[in-house]
């Protein structure tokens, strides 16, 4: 049996990153992700890595940009208000096609918001955040094990597609402890001939850049980038289905909300309600196919979220509004109870959406 | 026949986009000559700014990265910490370095980040068409200070070299100018020192180059050089503001 260790979610991310070969971490303190930085500060100097506390989130993401351009596996972590500050760098990283891993352990917003768990950065993560046309691979862990495995996966995907992978976690999973294993981790490595290494006077110079003053050139660059995004959409969507085989109603939830929802689904089943759960693991690419297929089978959907209703827009989009979609939500750092979700399922069964 | 003058190897053979009379060409050349003389082209990585020198990534033959506005020292930090064996320099203007990027500048200096910063101070935003810079002189007329910079309204110019030299962190801070042959020669000496310091692992070295912007100053190139002499340099005195190693030797 695989060796299991008890870890906090945030620490699992840090340890997984190190195991994935990340030796460069640049960050700035913010609650509730501090354990990641603390872990890195302790470990990196012992293994020949770099932990650097930057003067701001803006500086830290631009350090990530430089390190990514230099060809190393690099990451930063923050929480919602800090990720807003990183948006500038996220756009440059996307526009320059360099790979990086960015962690957002979400807290309630907008503004300074609160420090309790939230999922209210769904739009920011999946629809943009920074300026310009770009995408990030957005991974949504629902357990401490996934905090680790999706971090490793995130590094692999970032290098493979030369883009940012974002771990979109929340304060609950960041803070909770569960036993996990690192034994199944597959570390992939990719050549980086585009990286800044110095020419050694033996090759043409490499330029990492997002400026294209000729509109024709910028258009072509963006279109080529979206061809790559299309491949990501076709190949990398991940989701979990729970009790969906004969389901008449479908709950859609990710991250910590999916854990609550799963409990509610199990209870509803015991009451005889045929309900299942689709849990997106990648929020971008969104598991379109799972939703499309479900729309042909079920009578309605319930989107369970820790925000004012953000993912629900994608649920409606990818089910082509064929079925009604109810919202079961709490926000501001509040989490719905299994009973609240159960009540939404009961209402759906009565046709109340 | 002996070659007495040629293009530095580190400079690409492409036309620059700079305005007639702009000293960026001189400063680029000085940086390239230093890279040649130190034999470091193959391991140098340059960081271009946002501003007039934004396309510097096309003008130097070494590997280059284009940073976000003001973030060049942070980006350079990321590169240098990943590849400490490489030589990393930034090339930034006054808006980039002393306004939007002041935090990155101060903190990379405080960390004594082992990078070389070439800071071109021409007291104006050039690329965007001549707006007031953090280094615009009191009374200076710009697009956004059309009645002259009123220090009671928008504050005083920032003397970057003086300010940074108060920090314990940086190794070397010098201010030079490129308005005449003697000053150009001194500028090259300081730039060479700033690169040599990095080669020797000594840390953060910044050379502030007092420069001109004939186009946005609304002057002929000749008149702009005169204005540097009569107005800029008196406000921004030239000299070495900090040289930790030299100070140690003296002791």
From B171's Cα to the closest Cα of chain A, the distance in A is 20
Q: Mark yes or no for CB contact B64/A68 under 8 Å.
A: no
What is chain B's alpha carbon radius of gyration, rounded to the nearest angstrom?
Answer: 17
Domains identified in chain B and CATH numbers: 24-245 (3.40.50.970)
Residue of B nearest to A26 (CA): B78
Average pLDDT of chain A to the nearest whole number: 97
Tell me the average pLDDT across A66-84.
98
Tell me the average pLDDT across A91-113.
97
State residue B116 phi and psi, 5-degree precision. Answer: -115, 130
Tell me the average pLDDT across B222-248.
97
Provide, as residue numbers in chain B, all residues whose Cβ is less than 8 Å from the Cβ of A63.
Answer: 74-75, 77-78, 81
Q: Is pLDDT above 90 for B250?
A: no
Contact B138, B228 (CB under 8 A): no
* Closest to A86 measured CA to CA, from A36, A153, A27, A25: A27
Asked if B77 is an interface residue toward chain A (Cβ–Cβ < 8 A), one would say yes
Tell me the average pLDDT across A83-100.
98
Contact A174, A32 (CB under 8 A): yes
A180-213 tens-digit pLDDT: 999 888 999 999 999 999 999 999 999 999 999 9
Please report the pLDDT score of residue B1 as a whole number. 79
Contact A225, A164 (CB under 8 A): no
| b/e A122-136 (16+ beta carbons within 10 angstroms → b) | bebbbebbbeeebbb
A9-55 tens-digit pLDDT: 999 999 999 999 999 999 999 999 999 999 999 999 999 999 999 99
CA dist A218 and A117 (Å) reads 39
CA dist A276 and A280 (Å) reads 13
Q: How far is CA B102 from the centre of its chain?
A: 14
Tell me the average pLDDT across B234-244.
98
Q: Mark yes or no for CB contact A70/B78 under 8 Å.
A: yes
- For residue B206, list its beta bridge partners: B117, B173
From first CA to last CA, the distance across chain A in angstroms is 45
User: Model's pTM, two decimal places?
Assistant: 0.97
Residue of A nearest to B100 (CA): A58
Residue of A nearest to B88 (CA): A198
CA dist B1 and B13 (Å) reads 22
Environment class of A352 (CB within 10 Å of its CB; exposed 0-12, middle 13-18, buried 19+): exposed
Higher per-residue pLDDT: B184 or B249 = B184
Domains identified in chain A and CATH numbers: 5-235 (3.40.50.970), 240-349 (3.40.50.920)
* β A300-305/A275-280 pair status: unpaired
Q: Is pLDDT above 70 for A1?
A: no
From first CA to last CA, the distance across chain B in angstroms is 49
State residue A224 phi and psi, 5-degree precision. Answer: -65, -40
CA dist A322 and A123 (Å) reads 23
H helices within chain A, ranges in order? Answer: 9-19, 34-43, 57-69, 80-95, 122-127, 144-161, 171-175, 215-235, 255-270, 288-297, 311-318, 338-349
State residue B154 phi and psi, 5-degree precision. Answer: -125, 15
- For residue A74, list its beta bridge partners: A24
**In sequence order, which residues have a C-beta less than 8 Å from that of residue B93 and are 6 or more positions away?**
B49, B51, B52, B53, B119, B120, B121, B122, B125, B126
CA dist B194 and B207 (Å) reads 7
**Partner residue facing B42 (CB), from A74, A199, A210:** A199
**Cα–Cα distance list, A271 to A249, A263, A343 (Å):** 14, 13, 12
CA dist A123 and A317 (Å) reads 14
Please report the ipTM that was assigned to this predicted complex.
0.96
Please identify which residue in the block is written with the tokens 């609650």: A31
Provide, as residue numbers in chain A, all residues whose Cβ is less than 8 Å from the Cβ of B83.
Answer: 70, 196-198
Residue of A62, A192, A212 to mutate when probing chain B, most B C-beta within 10 A: A62
Asked if A56 is an interface residue toward chain B (Cβ–Cβ < 8 A), one would say yes
Q: Mark yes or no for CB contact A88/B68 under 8 Å.
A: yes
**Partner residue facing B104 (CB), from A59, A70, A201:** A59
Instruction: Tell me which H or E stretch contains A208.
Output: strand A207-208
Instruction: Tell me which H or E stretch contains B41.
Output: none
């Amino acid at each position: 049996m695989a060796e299991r260790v008890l870890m906090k979610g945030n620490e699992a991310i840090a340890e997984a990153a190190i195991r994935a070969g990340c030796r460069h971490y640049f960050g700035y303190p913010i609650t509730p992700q501090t354990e990641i930085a603390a872990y890195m500060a302790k470990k990196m100097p012992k293994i020949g890595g770099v932990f650097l506390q930057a003067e701001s989130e803006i500086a830290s993401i631009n350090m990530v940009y430089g390190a990514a351009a230099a060809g190393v596996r690099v990451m930063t972590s923050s929480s919602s208000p800090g990720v807003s500050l990183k948006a500038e760098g996220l756009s440059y990283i996307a526009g320059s096609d360099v790979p990086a891993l960015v962690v957002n352990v979400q807290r309630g917003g907008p503004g300074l918001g609160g420090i309790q768990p939230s999922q209210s950065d769904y739009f920011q993560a999946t629809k943009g955040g920074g300026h310009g046309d770009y995408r990030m691979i957005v991974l949504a862990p629902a357990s401490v094990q996934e905090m680790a495995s999706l971090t490793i996966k995130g590094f692999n995907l970032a290098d493979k597609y030369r883009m940012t992978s974002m771990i979109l976690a929340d304060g609950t999973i960041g803070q909770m402890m569960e036993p996990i294993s690192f034994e199944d981790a597959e570390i992939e490595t990719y050549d980086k001939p585009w990286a800044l290494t110095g020419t050694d006077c033996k090759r043409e110079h490499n330029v990492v850049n997002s400026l294209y003053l000729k509109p024709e050139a910028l258009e072509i660059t963006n279109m080529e980038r979206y061809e790559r995004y299309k491949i990501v959409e076709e190949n990398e969507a991940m989701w979990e289905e729970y009790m969906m085989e004969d389901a008449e109603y479908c709950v859609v939830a990710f991250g910590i909300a999916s854990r609550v929802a799963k409990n509610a689904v199990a209870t509803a089943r015991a009451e005889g309600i045929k309900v299942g759960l689709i849990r997106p693991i990648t929020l971008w690419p969104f598991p379109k196919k799972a939703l499309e297929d479900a729309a042909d089978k079920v009578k309605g959907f319930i989107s369970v979220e820790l925000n004012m209703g953000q993912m629900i827009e994608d649920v409606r989009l990818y089910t082509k509004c064929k079925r009604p979609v109810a919202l079961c939500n709490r926000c501001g750092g509040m989490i719905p109870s299994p009973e609240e979700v159960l009540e939404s399922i009961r209402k759906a069964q009565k046709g109340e959406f | 026949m002996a070659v007495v003058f040629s293009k530095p190897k580190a400079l690409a053979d492409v036309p620059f986009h700079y305005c007639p009379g702009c000293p960026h060409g001189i400063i680029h050349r000085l940086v390239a000559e230093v890279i040649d003389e130190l034999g470091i082209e193959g391991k140098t990585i340059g960081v271009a700014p946002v501003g007039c020198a934004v396309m510097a990534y096309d003008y130097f033959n070494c590997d280059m990265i284009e940073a976000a506005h003001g973030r060049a020292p942070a980006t350079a930090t990321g590169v240098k910490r990943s590849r400490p064996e490489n030589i990393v320099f930034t090339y930034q203007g006054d808006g980039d370095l002393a306004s939007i990027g002041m935090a990155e500048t101060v903190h990379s200096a405080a960390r004594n980040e082992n990078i070389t910063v070439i800071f071109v101070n021409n007291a104006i935003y050039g690329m965007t068409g001549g707006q007031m810079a953090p280094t615009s002189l009191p009374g200076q007329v710009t697009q956004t200070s059309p009645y002259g910079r009123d220090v009671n309204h928008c504050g005083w110019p920032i003397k970057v070299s003086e300010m940074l030299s108060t920090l314990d962190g940086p190794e070397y801070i010098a201010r030079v100018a490129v308005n005449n042959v003697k000053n150009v020669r001194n500028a090259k000496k300081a730039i060479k020192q700033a690169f040599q310091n990095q080669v020797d692992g000594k840390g953060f070295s910044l050379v502030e180059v007092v420069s001109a912007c004939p186009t946005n100053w609304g002057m002929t190139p000749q008149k702009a050089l005169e204005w540097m002499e009569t107005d800029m340099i008196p406000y921004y005195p030239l000299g070495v503001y900090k040289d930790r190693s030299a100070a140690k030797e003296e002791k």
